[in-house]
């Protein structure tokens, strides 16, 4: 398969923001892709070189790509940098400069021989080169990576160079997400909504969109039905909705529910295969090396040769026997001196669910059944503990347990449905689990996890930094981010310096295709960083686009007086607070205000 064909598809995707058009273009791509190339083509089109949980990174910085482009076209690095500052897109820089130099000249310069046909790039060639780049480490690795890229540039057309450059920088910018690919795959290889459900479930238990595409192309939908859990391969985690009062939650859950403490830590999915134990974060990143104490405790505590369990790792003070804040736990996220960090910051793992045991998937079992199985497998340990749990059927009992959770240093509680049909919904956010972090009966005091989509330069003391950030909620139905506030308070000077550095590394030349905004940010960024934000209340806004037209014509919903609380390194943009959650919170707030007035 020629990479030029893939680049032409990318060109079509680049100029549309319409989801249905994207899906049709992806179907066109699947039709021209040989079955044996589906995996690599799908990864490349989603801006990856492998499944997320594998953690293979290209490790290319802007400076390295600038050096490669400069060498490829025979220009000083400063000339390339100036053009980059003008366009904000190194992909466009590569396209422009290689277009001026000419493919034949580049091929001659790098000693590429053969006919034009022989010099044409293939998808395999690009794919293999990217993997060589990702696996290159150690002394002189930057030079080796740059030379690999130069080799590809020697064969690339201007358009190909554009997308190869964006790919090595992990900034493909096509707006194609895994759920969009799933929709296109279901229309190409399935029949109706039932196929979509089957494909999405398989994706949620494999966390591998490339494997799903390849199996569909080669074996069809029946092969997807046979996909099952594999220990060592993370399952996309189930998320919770939020609701207001104890009465609302109890009514939603059938008048009776299980309550668990909502621990202020890092959610983890532990895969146990005899003595081999792997820990995955909520973002599917492997974090085993950060928690050797947890790994050792699981070996001691779990009475199962093969299991997948979930819990929350929290920082722990053994002297006071109290939980410590999330920020303290995050200081353990390092590659070096783990033993010192482990000694300085002890942890506990509060287990609350089990998804797999000794060859049997437990996803379809009810929550009470899973909890019973979990309780039967856990031996008491200094590190491993079962999460606190209580069954309640009254608002008084609910509030009493909530107060107990807050007194214990937790951020709230999780209410869980205990009826028979309460299976584990991998990768989904439903009302089987409901989080409750405060009492809605007074002021708006909850916090939300929003995605940074842009920034505005500061003035005065904040000059030289991005002093205000443009924050957005995620709309999973439309697969886009909708602005909800401008965030400018709660930051220290150190925060602003670190945030500015982080955002400049993911800066874009224009507004991302999957961001809906009426504001023009000074800097647009890839929607990838999640921050926790608290505000005074919610109000209709003619400026912000979150839930635009849902509450009031020509108005969205915004948070008033937002304040930065903390970084959420454990969360990805697609598991941030959703538009529907904001709509529900706004409606509850309006209802409470009416009740107060009467």
The set of catalytic residues is: 262
Locus of tokens 């009493």 = 400
What are the beta bridge partners of residue 261?
Answer: 413
Query: How far apart are alpha carbons 430 and 143 in whole angstroms?
Result: 48
By C-alpha distance, which of 321, 342, 322 is closest to 331? 342
454-461 long-range contacts, Cβ below 8 Å, gap at least 24? 454/511, 454/515, 454/517, 454/519, 454/521, 454/522, 454/523, 454/524, 454/525, 455/499, 455/500, 455/503, 455/521, 455/522, 455/523, 455/525, 456/486, 456/521, 456/522, 456/523, 457/522, 457/523, 458/496, 461/493
Query: How far apart are alpha carbons 378 and 396 in whole angstroms?
Result: 31
Helix (H) or strand (E) segment spanning residue 193: helix 192-206
Which residues, including other chains, have CB under 8 Å from residue 580's CB and lie 6 or more apart? Answer: none
Query: How far apart are alpha carbons 8 and 160 in whole angstroms?
Result: 9
State how beta strands 239-242 and 429-436 pair: parallel
Lookup: tokens for 418: 């205990």
Lookup: tokens for 19: 């989801």
**CA contacts within 13 A on the Cβ side of 252:** 19
End-to-end CA distance of the chain: 69
**CA contacts within 13 A on the Cβ side of 36:** 2
**CA contacts within 13 A on the Cβ side of 443:** 6
Output the CA–CA distances (angstroms, integers) from residue 397 to 51, 246, 257, 416, 560, in the order listed: 44, 9, 11, 15, 33
What are the beta bridge partners of residue 392?
Answer: 257
Query: How far apart are alpha carbons 351 and 359 in whole angstroms?
Result: 20
Which residues, including other chains, have CB under 8 Å from residue 97's CB and lie 6 or more apart? Answer: 69, 72, 73, 75, 80, 83
By C-alpha distance, which of 460, 462, 458, 486 is closest to 472? 486
Coil, helix or strand for 537?
A: strand
130: left (phi over 0), alpha (psi -120 to 50) or beta: alpha
- DSSP classification of residue 421: T
């Amino acid at each position: 398969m020629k990479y030029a064909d893939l680049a032409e598809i990318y060109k079509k995707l680049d100029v549309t923001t319409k989801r249905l058009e994207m899906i049709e273009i992806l179907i066109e791509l699947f039709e021209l892709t040989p079955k044996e190339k589906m995996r690599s083509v799908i990864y490349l089109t989603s801006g990856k070189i492998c499944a997320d949980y594998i953690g293979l990174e290209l490790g290319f910085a802007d400076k390295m790509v600038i050096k490669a482009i400069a060498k490829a076209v025979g220009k000083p690095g400063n000339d390339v940098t100036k053009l980059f500052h003008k366009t904000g897109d190194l992909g466009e820089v590569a396209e422009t400069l290689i277009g001026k130099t000419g493919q034949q000249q580049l091929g001659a310069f790098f000693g590429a021989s053969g006919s034009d046909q022989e010099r044409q790039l293939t998808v395999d060639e690009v794919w293999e080169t990217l993997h060589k780049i990702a696996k290159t480490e150690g002394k002189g690795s930057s030079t080796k990576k740059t030379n690999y890229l130069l080799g590809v540039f020697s064969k690339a057309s201007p358009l190909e160079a554009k997308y190869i450059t964006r790919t090595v920088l992990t900034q493909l910018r096509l707006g194609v997400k895994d759920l969009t690919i799933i929709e296109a795959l279901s229309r190409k290889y399935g029949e109706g909504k039932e196929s979509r459900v089957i494909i999405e479930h398989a994706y949620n238990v494999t966390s591998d969109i490339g494997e799903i595409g390849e199996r569909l192309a080669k074996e069809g939908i029946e092969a997807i039905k046979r996909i099952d859990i594999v220990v060592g391969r993370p399952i996309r985690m189930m998320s919770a909705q939020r609701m207001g009062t104890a009465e609302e939650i109890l009514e939603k859950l059938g008048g009776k529910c299980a309550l668990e403490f909502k621990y202020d830590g890092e959610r983890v999915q532990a895969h146990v295969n005899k003595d081999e134990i792997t820990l995955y974060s909520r973002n599917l990143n492997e974090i085993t090396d950060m928690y050797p104490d947890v790994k050792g405790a699981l070996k001691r505590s779990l009475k199962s040769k093969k299991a997948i369990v979930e819990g929350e790792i929290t920082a722990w003070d053994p002297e006071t026997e109290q939980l410590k804040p999330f920020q303290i736990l995050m200081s353990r996220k390092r590659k070096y001196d783990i033993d010192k960090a482990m000694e300085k910051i002890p942890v506990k793992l509060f287990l609350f669910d089990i998804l797999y045991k000794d060859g049997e998937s437990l996803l379809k079992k009810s929550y009470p059944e899973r909890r019973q199985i979990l309780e039967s497998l856990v031996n008491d340990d200094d590190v491993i503990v079962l999460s606190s749990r209580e069954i309640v059927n009254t608002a008084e009992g609910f509030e009493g347990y909530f107060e107990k959770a807050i007194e214990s240093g937790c951020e709230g509680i999780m209410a869980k449905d205990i009826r028979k049909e309460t299976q584990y919904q991998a990768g989904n956010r439903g009302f089987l689990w409901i989080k409750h972090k405060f009492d809605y009966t007074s002021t708006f005091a909850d916090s939300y996890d929003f995605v940074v989509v842009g920034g505005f330069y500061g003035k005065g003391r904040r000059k030289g930094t991005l002093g205000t950030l443009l924050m957005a909620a995620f709309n999973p139905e439309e697969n886009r981010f909708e602005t909800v506030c401008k965030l400018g308070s709660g930051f220290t000077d150190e925060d602003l310096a670190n945030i500015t550095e982080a955002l400049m590394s993911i800066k874009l030349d224009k507004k991302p295709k999957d961001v809906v905004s009426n504001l023009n940010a000074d800097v647009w960024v890839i929607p990838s960083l999640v921050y926790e934000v608290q505000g005074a209340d919610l109000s209709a806004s003619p400026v912000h686009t979150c839930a635009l037209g849902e509450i009031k014509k020509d108005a969205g919903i915004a948070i008033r007086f937002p304040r930065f609380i903390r970084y959420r390194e454990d969360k990805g943009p697609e598991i941030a607070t959703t538009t529907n959650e904001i709509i529900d919170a706004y409606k509850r707030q309006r209802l409470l205000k009416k009740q107060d007035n009467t």
